[in-house]
Amino acid sequence: MYNDMKKILTLTLAAALLSLFQLSAQIDRSKAPEAGPAPVVQLGDFEKFTLDNGLRVILVEDHDRPVVNFNINFIVDPYVEGEKAGESSFFGDLWGRGTVNRTADQLNNEVDFLGATFRTGSRSLGFMTLTKYTDKMMDILTDVLYNPTFPQEELDKIKDQALGGLQMSRTSPGAILNNIMTATVYPEGHAYSDIMTEATVEAITTDDCREYYENYIIPNSAIVIIVGDMNLEQAKAICEKYLSKWEKGEILTHEDPAVNRPEGIQVVFSPKDGAVQSTIEMMAPITLTPDSEDRMALSIANAIYGGGGFDAKLFRNLRETHGYTYGVYSSVSSDEISGSFSAGGDVNGNATDSSFVQMRFELQNMMDGDYTEDDLEKFKTMYAGDFSRSLESSGTIASFAYTVERYGLPDDYYATYLQRLDALTLDDIRAVVAKYFDPDNMYWFCVGDPSVLPALAQYDSDGVVVELDFEGKPIERKEVAADVTVQTVFDSYFNYLGGRELIEGIKDITVQTDMTVQGMTISNTVKMIPAEKALLQTQSMGGQVMSELKLVNGKLTVSSPMGGSQEVTDPAQIATVVSESDLYPFPEMLGTEGYELTGIEAVDGRDAYKVKSSAANGIVTVDYYDVETGAKVKTVESAMGQSSETYYVEYMTTKYGVKYPSVMKMVVPQMGEMEAKVVNVKINSKLKAKKF
């Protein structure tokens, strides 16, 4: 029997080896094996139920950690805020800052004591906490939900923060670009036409916030998402206990006028004097709702064009081939009211028009079918990988469940995602490219130095470039009279200050300026002797010297308590730190060489001449002089891609008799608006450079 069994095993093994040999002989190992059919994705479990008041609840259980994330999302039909633009955002910030039972500090302290987080927004309310504190956090949440007080003092804080942000946005190319796009694409009366300004911020009241609360914070337009350590029975019990008494309301909807679609190439420009880079965007509104069957194919088409990073056409063209930019990308957004297709980035100023041309060139290539099966498979693989990795998070499952509920998508929308992605063909891509991409009818938006404008204008279909300011308002260009020159502008300024003779009589000057930055006062003292090209600048805080810059006898010394001192004697290196204009109280004393009169522009509602100059250290300066009075009212300085603005609010008459700016408001990138006050001016006090 042993021998029989041995024979059977031997024959079986031989047959197996023969089969394996035959199989391996048939495999072509020079080719990758064909992929199998895309699987149906097994999403994590979630449960849904609805309360009697219409509140929908989605539960995604995750018992790996003793944590509960509870969020109420409100479906609010966007509406026109108009003269109170920003009120919905302000409501979201103010909502959680006080109730009938708790002050803002009490709310914060209770949440912090529990080690939880609590959040409010214009369309959401929620918390994350350890499971054992869920009831305590629900008590806080429902207190905010049912009993908000909207304190005036808290609204005032929010307004101050918003005003500071608006001041910073005045110098932000991205913020300016967003404003000019909004003003161009969305007509008056459209829900997306709002632009927040200082005036709209000041107009918002606590009554506006309460009205928003009463109109939109209702259960029958909300969806609760619960993710974490909670089962269905517990979820139903806690929602019944805390949210069942919440009364239904009327769901408000609004009609929007049609968006403004580009006819031909329409160039829209906003000036940023001295900018070495241009922030550009090629854009067109499209009709693409979240439930559109075109979304997946259009996402792949966009990835091939510009949304796929290093492998996309735009990146390879504008960065790798031409070197116009560090990065340029495209995007497609879906929206129930108005979707969009756009492409852009920050590009070299001298390549502004060329960048638009290349973006249009690659878009035309998409129209012409300049992509392959390999391109399609590459991005399908990338999207499949991103999708599969996202399934590792319970938060993703909750997001999927919410999206299906929110937009009425098929229940298997995400379960069949990989199958639908795998089924995409080049014909599908061609169809959406033909439907949504149109290189001949696009807006070209640009924020940059006005010097790029003539080159851009040649591509505008009607030859008329629309110029808008940082708030999206039309810029009115006025002709400069033939007899006005840089010299006449400077002469008017000298007359305003007290006369050329008085100014030329300044032998030395000492100016002390105090500036408040984030609650701290910094004193800046400047001493200069123009004839000797001597300068001493000292910054101090609280009586302690922070830094000192000294230029005497052609030697520059820069020092600080922490960094020691550094000496520079090379004139070229010195010029990169201190320009000749820095050595005069009024740089206009040096003459008109290097200055250019570029036009007239309104500053705080008054016409001002614009005079531009460039220093050896690369700083581009644009000064604005009041047409009527001659006073310098504003200065914009740009360097290294950043720009700052100084507004001369008030002038003082010194003992010497000459006028000098005494109150200035400065807008600095990343810091916002600061006020500087001149506290002391001494002229002809017999300064000696050797004592510097």
CATH number at residue 498: 2.50.20.10
| Residue 459 and residue 490 share a domain | no
Domain that residue 306 falls in:
265-390+407-467
Asked if residue 596 and residue 492 are part of one domain, the reply reads yes
Q: Note the pLDDT of residue 3.
A: 41
User: For residue 26, is pLDDT > 60?
Assistant: no
The whole-number pLDDT of residue 15 equals 35
* pLDDT band of 393, cuts 50, 70, 90: confident
Spatial CB neighbours of 265, under 8 Å, sequence gap ≥ 6: 440, 441, 442, 444, 459, 460, 461
Contacts 24+ apart (CB under 8 A), 665-671: 666/515, 667/167, 667/168, 667/170, 667/171, 668/171, 668/644, 669/168, 669/171, 669/172, 669/642, 669/643, 669/644, 670/168, 671/168, 671/517, 671/518
Candidates 503, 504, 476; CA nearest to 607 is 476
User: 638, 274 in Cβ contact below 8 A?
Assistant: yes
Segment 332-350 shows an average pLDDT of 96
Query: What whole-number distance in Å separates Cα of residue 156 and Cα of residue 175?
Result: 23
* pLDDT for residue 36: 52
Asked whether the predicted pLDDT for residue 364 surpasses 90, the reply is yes
Find residue 526's DSSP bridge partners: 511, 537
Task: Supply 88's token pair.
Answer: 């919905």
Q: What is the pLDDT of residue 39?
A: 60
For every residue of 569-630, which 3-state class applies, written as one string? CCHHHHHHHCCHHHHCCCHHHHCCCCEEEEEEEEECCEEEEEEEEECCCCCEEEEEEECCCC
Query: Token pair for residue 531?
Result: 């004839």
Residues 195, 61 within the same domain: yes
Assigned domain for 210 exists: yes
Claim to verify: residue 416 and residue 561 sit in the same structural domain: no
643 band by pLDDT with thresholds 50, 70 and 90:
confident
pLDDT band at 545 (very low <50, low <70, confident <90, very high): confident
Is 28 inside any structural domain?
Answer: no
Would you say 228 and 68 are in contact if contact means Cβ atoms under 8 Å apart? yes
- Structure confidence at residue 37 as a pLDDT band (50, 70, 90): low
Instruction: With residue 421 as reference, give the H or E element that holds it.
Output: helix 417-422
Paired sense of beta strands 265-271 and 466-467, if any: parallel
Tell me: do 428 and 538 sit in the same domain.
Answer: no
In terms of pLDDT, which residue wins out, 631 or 21? Answer: 631
Q: Name the residue among 129, 131, 141, 118 with its Cα closest to residue 222.
A: 141
Q: Does residue 135 fall inside a structural domain?
A: yes
Task: Give the residue among 541, 515, 461, 539 at the shortest CA–CA distance from 667.
Answer: 515
Q: Same domain, yes or no, for 419 and 309?
A: yes
Please compute the mean of the pLDDT values over residues 238-263 and round it to a whole number: 96
Q: Cβ distance 116 to 69 under 8 Å?
A: no
Name which residue leads in pLDDT, 394 or 416: 416
Measured CA distances, 280 to 208, 268, 310, 328 (Å): 36, 10, 19, 10
Least confident of 194-208, 458-472, 574-588: 574-588
Question: Which residues, 6 or more positions from 42, have their beta carbon under 8 angstroms from its beta carbon?
Answer: 415
The pLDDT value recorded for residue 44 is 60
Q: Are 268 and 184 in contact (CB under 8 A)?
A: yes
The answer to the question of residue 412 being in a domain is yes
* Residue 144 sits in the same domain as residue 68: yes
d(CA 271, CA 453) in angstroms, rounded, equals 9
The pLDDT of residue 46: 86
pLDDT at 162 over 50: yes
Beta partners for residue 459, in sequence order? none
- Among the listed residues 472, 524, 552, 544, the one whose alpha carbon sits nearest the alpha carbon of residue 193: 472
Same domain, 214 and 296: no
> Within a domain: residue 312?
yes
Q: pLDDT at residue 369 above 90?
A: yes
Instruction: Tell me 264's DSSP state.
Output: S
**Which residues contact residue 140 at a Cβ distance below 8 angstroms, ignoring those fewer than 6 apart?**
102, 107, 110, 111, 118, 127
Q: How far apart are CA 444 and CA 652, in angstroms?
A: 45
Identify the CA nearest to 503 among candidates 657, 648, 624, 634: 657
Q: Which residue has better confidence, 615 or 486?
A: 486
The answer to the question of residue 250 being in a domain is no
**72, pLDDT greater than 60:** yes
Domain endpoint, select from 209, 243, 277? 243
Q: Are residues 441 and 543 in the same domain?
A: no
Name the pTM for this structure.
Answer: 0.83
DSSP 622-680: EEEEETTT--EEEEEEEETTEEEEEEEEEEEE-TTS-EEEEEEEEEETTTEEEEEEEEE
Residue 620: per-residue pLDDT: 86
CA dist 640 → 168, 275, 297, 623, 669 (Å): 17, 8, 40, 19, 12
Q: Which band of pLDDT confidence, cut at 50, 70 and 90, is reported for residue 607?
A: very high
The domain that holds 321 is classified in CATH as 3.30.830.10
Residue 480 domain flag: no
What domain count does the chain have?
3
More confident residue, 17 or 610: 610
CA distances (Å), origin 602, targets 271, 275, 634: 13, 19, 11
Instruction: Write phi, then psi, for 169 (nearest 5 degrees).
Output: -70, -20
428/512 same-domain check:
no
Task: Sort strands 555-560 and 277-286 into parallel, antiparallel or unpaired.
Answer: unpaired
Same domain, 454 and 497: no
- Are 515 and 584 part of one and the same domain? yes
Task: Give, in degrees to the nearest 5, the angle at Cα 205 between 516 and 186.
Answer: 95
pLDDT at 34: 54
| Domain-embedded: residue 17 | no
CA-angle at 592, arms to 549 and 606, nearest 5°: 90
Lowest-confidence range among 228-242, 247-261, 639-653? Answer: 639-653
